[in-house]
Chains A and B, each alone.
Chain A
Amino acid sequence: MTAISLKNLDIFYGEAHITHDVNLEIADGESFALVGESGSGKSTVLKAIAGLAPEWTGEINVFGKPRSHGIDRAFSRQCQMVFQDPYGSLHPRKTVDATLGEALTIHGIGDRSARIEEVMSSVGLDRKFRFRFPHQLSGGQRQRVAIARALMLKPKVLLLDEPTSALDVSVQAEILNLLKRLRQEQNLTFLMVTHNLPVVSFLCDRLAVMRQGRIVEVADVADLKRGDLKDPYSRELMHISAAHAN
């Protein structure tokens, strides 16, 4: 079954035409990466799916249901987003408990305490952090809270916007392991935006390379590992990554 399907998606910010004719099919349970440089439109695609960039034409379907241009509660139960910067994406004056509980209140779900504790333990956060504020947590702990927040409504799809690029490599490893484990345990579908190809190689099954608002290539991660991408631009990205890692 298809989890996310994008057809002829063109996204606009006012006058600016950001993406051109984006087509993607992401299967249920798949982990898919969108890679490219800043300004290539990869994060904008995620934002359009999440409803944060409402000016678009074309089709966005999640589990066969078309997405509207507005806020959509049924949709948010299926699909949630994790943002890049754990220092900027959590409300500084809300405790972890309030951040995690908010979604439950909005959707009128009871059993609040038990659900918060369950999600906290699944992302590896000790109970003692429940009534702390973001500034009392480290970067890695904050990103765990951000992931926990996204999981509160038990969604099937997670949109991940550079979830580890603001973190140290050792903390990045912890978060990547966590995401991999959560995907297995909860049978999640990932759509991840990143410019870090080794991260794609660790976490994803397929990838699409974007440049100037267009998808230039869709490939299997096995091709990436073998160094077998076809498009000249994707090859260039791959060679730069390989050179850096020696």
Chain B
Amino acid sequence: MNPLLEIENLRVTFPTPRGDLEVVRGLSFTLGRERLGIVGESGSGKSMTGRSILKLVRAPGRVTADKLTFDGIDLLTRSERQMRPIRGARISMVMQDPKFSLNPVMTIGEQIAEALLTHQRLPRREVNNRVLTMLESVRIADPERVAKLYPHEVSGGMGQRVMIAMMLIPEPDLLIADEPTSALDVSVQAQVLDIIDELVKRKGMGLIFISHDLNLVSSYCDRILVMNTGEVVEECKAGELMNAKHPYTRGLIASIPRLDETRTELPVLDRSAWAKK
């Protein structure tokens, strides 16, 4: 089977008064129908990687790559107009914070229906049914009531589930989840991730899960890329993250406090060691 997504030598550059700043520096990977995690700290370029797949990096930012194909389609040469049938319908993205990503003046039902109707024509009754079924599948107990609510009337966890419903209703082939749970409580995090996980498995989609949380990524993905200053420093299977070799990955793992913490001081990353070669 062909890979879903192929990326070779992806670079994202922003001009600054002191010359160009490369925030993603020569990233390459291929993705099948699997769950890939991208981890790294703020500024490591992980979100920019996700955005460049959807061509959402705005000028003056520049995206270049030797190859950027999705399901055989060359994304690099596609115009904005040609991207529209891909965005949402075939590749969709769950953003970090439901508070800022949902439209505050549309009801939840209308917003989810809009995601569907942008890409296909359907009779109103069927749209309604699909919205309600989708809300049910993200474990919202009374979909009819929730569909009539506005975003400010629901909690953060429910807002994030609504967003997932919206992103999955056009049945995309690839879901990019950019820090989908970092605005949520630990107890709600697990619920939301379980929902994503179940839907991804059931529909056989590809998932790119972008997060700064190593533990979370290792429990919800098959494969992990660790990024630092725009480059992949380590690639491994999720189960083998704890045996990571690169000092940066090991440093990140060691700096997380544990529930049965006995260390009096947490180890801190020595950034000077590999910041500039």
Q: Which residues, 188 to 235 on B, are CB-close (under 8 Å) to A?
A: 188-190, 212-216, 218-219
Chain B interface residue bracket vs A: 20 to 34
CB-CB < 8 A to A246: which residues of B?
Answer: 215, 218-219
Asked if B269 and A170 make an inter-chain contact with CB atoms under 8 angstroms apart, the answer reads: yes
Assembled-state Cα–Cα distance A169/B268 (Å): 10
Q: Would you call B259 and A198 a contact (CB within 8 A)?
A: yes
Is the C-beta of A172 less than 8 angstroms from some C-beta in chain B?
Answer: yes
Does A180 sit at the interface, judged by CB under 8 A? yes
**Cβ < 8 Å to A, chain B residues 228-277:** 251-252, 255-269
Does A173 have its Cβ within 8 Å of any Cβ on chain B?
yes
> Are A170 and B41 closer than 8 Å at their CB atoms?
yes
Q: Which residues of A contact B216 (CB under 8 A)?
A: 244
What residues of chain B lie closer than 8 Å to A236, measured between beta carbons? 187
What mask results when residues 196 to 229 of chain A are scored 1 for a CB within 8 Å of chain B, else 0? 1111011000000000000000000000111100
The answer, yes or no, to whether B186 is at the interface (CB within 8 Å) is yes
Residues of B within 8 A of A173 (CB): 255-257, 266-269
Q: Are A197 and B185 in contact (CB under 8 A)?
A: no
Cβ of A37 within 8 Å of any chain B Cβ, yes or no, is yes
Whether A37 and B185, one on each chain, are in contact in the complex, defined by CB atoms closer than 8 angstroms, is yes
Q: Are A197 and B215 in contact (CB under 8 A)?
A: no
From A201, which residue of chain B is reached at the shortest CB distance?
Answer: B261
| Known contacts A196-B186, A201-B258; A170 and B251 CB within 8 A of each other | yes
Q: Within 8 Å CB of A180, what residues of B?
A: 264-265
Q: Is A238 an interface residue (CB 8 A)?
A: yes
Interface membership of B42, Cβ < 8 A: yes
Taking a contact as CB atoms under 8 Å apart, the answer to whether A169 and B265 are in contact is no
Q: Which residues of B contact A103 (CB under 8 A)?
A: none
29 cross-chain CB contacts under 8 A: A39-B155, A169-B41, A169-B213, A169-B256, A172-B255, A173-B255, A173-B257, A173-B269, A174-B268, A176-B266, A177-B268, A180-B264, A180-B265, A196-B186, A196-B257, A198-B256, A198-B261, A201-B259, A237-B187, A238-B259, A241-B186, A241-B259, A243-B219, A244-B189, A244-B215, A244-B219, A245-B215, A245-B256, A246-B219
* A-B residue pairs, 3 tightest by C-beta: A173-B255, A173-B266, A198-B257
Spell out B's residues near A (CB within 8 Å): 41-42, 155-156, 185-190, 212-216, 218-219, 251-252, 255-269
